Every structure is written in structure tokens, then in C-alpha cells.
Amino acid sequence: MSELVGKVLIERYRIDSLIARGGMANVYQGQDLRLDRTVAIKIIHRHLSQDETFRSKFFREAQLAARVAHPNLVNVFDQGSIDEIDFIVMEFVEGITLRDALNSHSAISGDEALSVIKAVLAGLASAHSAGILHRDIKPENVLLADDGRIKLSDFGLARDIGNQTDTGSLVGTVAYLSPELIRRGQALASSDIYAVGIVLYEMLTGSQPYLGQDAMQIAFQHATNRIAAPSSVRPELSPELDSIVLWCTEPDAGNRPQSAGELLTAIEKGRISIARSTLVQPPQGIAQTTKLPELRDQSFTQIIDDAIDTTGMGAAQSPDFEPEISKLASKSRMPIWVISAVLAICLGSTAGWWFSSGPGALQSMPNVAGLSVSQAEKKLAPISNQFEVRNVFDSSAVGTVVGTQPRSALPVPHGSKIILLVSKGAEQISVPKLSGLDLVSASAKIVADRLVVGAVSQRFSTKAPLGTVITTLPKPGVAANVGSSVDLVISLGQIPSVIAMPSAVAKTTLAAAGLKIGKMTFEFSSTVNKGDVISFAPESTVMTQGSKIDLVISRGAQLVKMPVVIGETILAAQDLLQGLGLNVVIDTKWLTSQYGIKKVNGASAKAGTDLLVGDTVTIRSR
């Protein structure tokens, strides 16, 4: 639908660029021309827009989503149709999906995973309280905004809780479908909880619990198996996380939390106390979790016409959902327990061959981290010859294998495809310009750029206002590894001026600014009162709290006594007065050649008078 870019819908929305492709609809970034805001515009594929039943389901998404408003749900603004284009206008969330994050980082920490799930549950609880089921919870529908918000999106499969007894067809993403949906086509609030449990398992382990060649195999495992505890993959995970996953994925819907609100409350109040030892064991008659070869992506929302046959033999073709076993029973005079026993024997024999000597035989995945691609392929050759190299950002040397999918130590079927995760070097980003920002704003910008706030120091500055960033280390514009630290230098403002202050007041003022007194010298001053500061100077070019300031203190004006100059020769009187620091003016009729013999007979100041150094005295000789 590239021809849609640049198109204006109903004279209000301009379509700018494609941001996500889907099996049923594409999502574009656009502009609300009236309100001047960026929006997301979801447009169903043209071939589906011809189906009135699908169109009504599509628009029902907007109607249902508009019934709830919550910070952890993507808001729906509008819906409409023009020129056979059916669209929904939604809140635009700048960021990535949880699937993007998992593709980049595989498993994440327990605390991070729990934080994401609590946000999802908060939004989902709002929907459940409004009587709405989501029915398509998966990492692709969890948005991680750049500003830290977490939002649940895509109510394309949502339905009223009261309208769930029979779906008519099996809908959703097969990797997250609950057993009751697969067996009976029945969706409940606890079906959403099952999907939440699968998403949490995937965040904690880096892999979905069931993998297979096609949707049928995966659905079969959901209908017959029991999800293992995440700690079976990552032993360091806490029993509480195991308990949450296992409670959410109970095969019997009645044993799960009955709503997102119930689960969220239990998590927040620490009421998850089911013992891991009792939960890890599968219920009697339910097979252990088994991973089949993953040959294609099962993350897209799918409509699997009618029902999945829980024997793994195929799908029913009736337009109304009816489990295959029930059909067999209705067409046979044999009791259903006889049919069930025969099917169980067949399944047991087939499964025994498949997982022992057949294509499903399992081997432990070796650890090839730190090897080159060729070395890794050689080490993995006994398991498979199907490899895919996927370059990822990592601090390891470029070209070094940093991991695999499936992860090391996991059991994998012989001959299955192995993805080698190869380092393309650490991802780098340019250090942003932060000068002039306050500490909070600068820290937010650092975190938004996927860097870390490092050491924060302070120093005095004649240019940067108090509390703002003076500079950073590394400098702005320098390329730094994502996740590396950026040190900040914050301004303490200017050093306070203490000129003409009494020395005691000057010391107090500087101490209040966190400065200490260094050297103190004293000088005469005819302009600065005795004891006041004549001048000050920092002891270094970089001044921080605790640095020292040198002070020059006034001794006050310097006084001299007027000597007796009358009777002295002009030259002798001039030398005497200048020697005391006085300026001399000679009032005489004699030539300078006679200064050595002519006598002074008068002066402007009397002998013994106090004069300031620098004063002017006139002597006369006539």
C-alpha cells in the first residue's frame, strides 16, 4: 500500500509513512491536520475490506477500545472509510515493541519483565473491568515508548466478555492461545491471562514455551502439555516468578486468575505464594513440555478456520467449531472412552518414535559464544547443518559469536535450524549537547539516548548559570557505546565578589559558597578602608567547593609627617619630600642650575603636619 503514503483521508488525516505490516492490516504514521498532532493510522488490506463481516469486526476494535481509557492502553481517536479505505486513527507511540526488545536482547531480567507485565495487566484490567477481552496478547502488541511508558495495543480481536461462549473459529496468535480456546473455541478473561503468562515466560527465558513446524503442532502442545517453570531454563529466577507463570498458564481455566485485576492485585500485594515444587510437576495425564523444530514465524495473528484437532491430526472443516474427538464420537457407536483410549495409544506410540529416534530427537545445544562463525558451525555440525547468521550489537569483538537461538543448554531437535548471533560491535550513539540544561533535563536526555548518567561534579563558572550543565565527559558529539556513562559538570554559579567587604564578612560569604580562605596579604590603600578587602583571586583556574581564595586586605591610608624644609636648598628639600612618597611642586624664579644653592623660604604644609603618601606639597624660593 505504498500508494497510500501522502494521501489525505476525509480532509483531516495525512498518511506519512508505513511503520508496521500485519497479516490483516498495516499501520502508518500520519498527521491529524486539524489538531496538528502525530497519529497512527491502521488500514485493513483491500482484499479484506471487501468482506463485510471482517469490516464490522475491524470497526468493532475502535468501538471497544474507545470504551476504555487508561495510561497503559493505546487510545483510539477516530474511525472512517473513504475510497474503499477502511481505517482507525489511534494514539502514536514513539518507541519499539516488546518483540523488538526481545529480538535484540533475548531474555530480560526478572525485575524488568515483572515491570512490563504489571503495566500490561494494569491496562488489561481496565479492559476486563469494562467487559472487554483482548484475545491477542503477544509481544508485538506491547509498545515500549521512548519516554518509558508501556502500552497494550491492537484490540482487533477484542470481544465483549458476554459474547465468548462460541467463537465460530479459532482466532489469535497460536503461540499464545489457551487450551480452552484450542479445544472448545471458548475465550474467557482467564484466556487473556494465559497469554500474559506465555509473554512473561518468553521475557524470562528468551523463547516461547512451544515451537513447531506449523500452527497445528504448536496448538496441539498448548492443548495437551503443561508449561514448564521458567527456572528450568534460567535457574537463577525466583520461585515467585515461576509461580506467576505457572498460575497464569494452568491448563484448567478455572485454576487461573479470573481477571487481570485479580492477578495484578496478587502480584502487588505479594500474594503469589504457590510452591514451585508443586507447580513444576505437570498434572496427571498431561505430557511434559516438548519443543518441536521452529521452521517459520508463528508470531502473526492467525485465524485458523474452525477448530484445531487436539490429536494433532488436522483441523475440522465445519463452519461451526466442534472438536474432532466429539465428531468421531457422534459418528460412532463406540463409547467415547474407547475412542479416547485408542487415540492415546496411537499418540503415545507416535510420540515415542518421534522423540527417540525420529526427527524430533533432542540434543543439548552447545555453548559456542566466543567462537568465530566457522568454528561455531563446526562445533554444531553434529546437531544441524542449517544455520542463519544474525548480526547483533554487542561489546564483543566484531565477527565473534555471542549466542544462539535456541540458547545454549536447551534441548533442540536434530536437524533444526540454528541462528548464530554474531557481534557487529557495540552500538554507538553521539553524546548529546547538554550545556545550559538543568540536571534533571540533562539526565532525561541522556537516558532517552540510551546512555547512562555517570559522575556528577560541580564547579564555579562565570558563564553558566547556577545549576546548569557546563560540560560533559565525553564531549558533545563524541561517539559513545550505547549504555556507557556520561559524566556531567554542573555550574555553582559565579564566585561571590567580596571586594570592599570587611575581611570577617568576606570570609563568611565565601564559606557559605563552599570556599576556603587561602593566602591573606595586607597593603596600604587610600581608597579602601582599613580591614576591608582590596582584591581577591582564585588559587586555580578550576574552582570547586572546597577550593581556596586568596585575599588582599587594606591597611588603610599610609601617613607621613611633613619635614622641615625651610632653609634647605631647593634640591635637598625636593629629595626629602619625594623620599616620603609625596609629590613636589617647586614655585621659584631661579633656574634649575641654581637649585643646589638657592634656599627654600616657604611651603604649603607646616612642618609636623600628617600627610597621606601621594599628597602634593608646594615649596617656594624667591
**285 in a domain, yes or no?**
yes
Q: Are 158 and 130 in contact (CB under 8 A)?
A: no
Beta bridge partners of 44: 25
Return the DSSP state at 502.
B
Extended strands (E) in 399-450: 401-405, 411-413, 418-423, 428-430
Best CA proximity match to 178, nearest among 254, 95, 96? 254
Best CA proximity match to 344, nearest among 357, 325, 319? 325
* CA–CA dist 158, 59 (Å, integer): 11
Pick left, alpha or beta for residue 619 (phi over 0 → left; psi -120 to 50 → alpha; otherwise beta): beta
> Residue 410 contacts by C-beta under 8 Å, 6 or more apart in sequence?
207, 233, 291, 364, 365
Terminal alpha carbon distance of the chain: 114
- Find out whether the peptide bond into 563 is cis, omega within 30 degrees of 0: no
pLDDT of residue 281 exceeding 50: no
Between 148 and 322, the more confident residue is 148
pLDDT of residue 296 exceeding 50: no
Read off the C-alpha cell for 145: 515508548
Q: Are residues 51 and 138 in the same domain?
A: no
Report in angstroms the alpha-carbon separations of 160 from 73, 163, 173: 17, 5, 19
Beta bridge partners of 430: 479
* CA–CA dist 69, 83 (Å, integer): 30
pLDDT of residue 15 exceeding 80: yes
Q: Mean pLDDT in the chain?
A: 80
Q: Are residues 277 and 207 in the same domain?
A: yes
Q: Are residues 230 and 154 in the same domain?
A: yes
* CA–CA dist 501, 295 (Å, integer): 83
Q: Are residues 265 and 144 in the same domain?
A: yes
* CA–CA dist 219, 276 (Å, integer): 25
State pLDDT tens for residues 114-145: 999 999 999 999 888 888 888 889 998 899 98
Q: Are residues 19 and 131 in the same domain?
A: no
CATH code of residue 395:
3.30.10.20
* CA–CA dist 68, 353 (Å, integer): 51
Report in angstroms the alpha-carbon separations of 464 from 433, 460, 494: 14, 9, 8
Domain membership of residue 172 as a residue range: 96-322
pLDDT of residue 361: 55
Residue where a domain terminates, one of 469, 491, 513: 491
Q: Are 448 and 147 in contact (CB under 8 A)?
A: yes
Return the DSSP state at 381.
T
**12 in a domain, yes or no?**
yes
pLDDT of residue 49: 75
**42 in a domain, yes or no?**
yes
397 CB neighbour count, 10 Å cutoff: 11
The helix/strand/coil state of 293 is: coil
* CA–CA dist 110, 238 (Å, integer): 8
Beta bridge partners of 607: none
Lowest mean pLDDT among 97-111, 318-332, 530-544: 318-332
Concatenated DSSP letters of 140-199 = GGEEEETTS-EEE---TT-EEGGG-S--SSEEE-GGG--HHHHHH----HHHHHHHHHHH
CATH code of residue 188:
1.10.510.10
Q: Are residues 165 and 248 in the same domain?
A: yes
pLDDT of residue 331 exceeding 70: no
Chain centroid to CA 220: 37
Q: Are 201 and 227 in contact (CB under 8 A)?
A: yes
Q: Are 145 and 285 in contact (CB under 8 A)?
A: no
Q: Are residues 175 and 273 in the same domain?
A: yes
State pLDDT tens for residues 336-388: 444 444 454 455 545 444 444 455 456 778 899 999 999 999 999 988 889 99
pLDDT of residue 357: 47
pLDDT level of residue 319 (50, 70, 90 thresholds): very low
**52 in a domain, yes or no?**
yes
> Residue 263 contacts by C-beta under 8 Å, 6 or more apart in sequence?
121, 193, 196, 244, 247, 248, 257
Long-range contacts of 234-240 (CB under 8 A, 24+ apart): 234/107, 234/204, 234/205, 237/110, 237/204, 238/110, 239/275, 239/276, 240/272
Average confidence (pLDDT) over 313-340: 37
The helix/strand/coil state of 80 is: strand
Long-range contacts of 401-405 (CB under 8 A, 24+ apart): 401/368, 401/369, 401/370, 401/371, 401/372, 401/373, 401/375, 401/376, 402/369, 403/106, 403/369, 404/365, 404/368, 404/376, 404/380, 405/106, 405/206, 405/207
Q: Are 113 and 204 in contact (CB under 8 A)?
A: yes
Return the DSSP state at 438.
B
**85 in a domain, yes or no?**
yes
> Residue 14 contacts by C-beta under 8 Å, 6 or more apart in sequence?
6, 7, 8, 30, 31, 33
- Find out whether the peptide bond into 406 is cis, omega within 30 degrees of 0: yes
Q: Are 168 and 307 in contact (CB under 8 A)?
A: no
Residues annotated as catalytic are 136
Supply the pTM of this predicted model.
Answer: 0.46
Instruction: State what percent of residues in the chain have pLDDT above 90.
Output: 41
pLDDT of residue 401: 92
Largest CA distance in the chain: 157
Lowest mean pLDDT among 341-345, 488-492, 540-544: 341-345
Cell numbers 484450542: residue? 182
Q: Are residues 414 and 532 in the same domain?
A: no
Q: Are residues 403 and 282 in the same domain?
A: no
Q: Are residues 128 and 271 in the same domain?
A: yes
Residue where a domain terminates, one of 332, 360, 388: 360
**212 in a domain, yes or no?**
yes
**46 in a domain, yes or no?**
yes
Report in angstroms the alpha-carbon separations of 322 from 307, 330, 605: 7, 11, 128
Q: Are residues 66 and 207 in the same domain?
A: no
**136 in a domain, yes or no?**
yes
Its sign, for the CA torsion 241, 244, 249, 251, is positive
Average confidence (pLDDT) over 262-267: 91
* CA–CA dist 16, 39 (Å, integer): 10
Q: Are residues 474 and 574 in the same domain?
A: no
Residue where a domain terminates, one of 360, 385, 415: 360
pLDDT of residue 271: 65
Rank 308-322, 324-338, 447-461 by mean pLDDT and report only the highest. 447-461
Lowest mean pLDDT among 21-25, 142-146, 159-163, 529-533: 159-163
Structural domains of the chain, count: 7
pLDDT of residue 388: 93
pLDDT of residue 196: 95
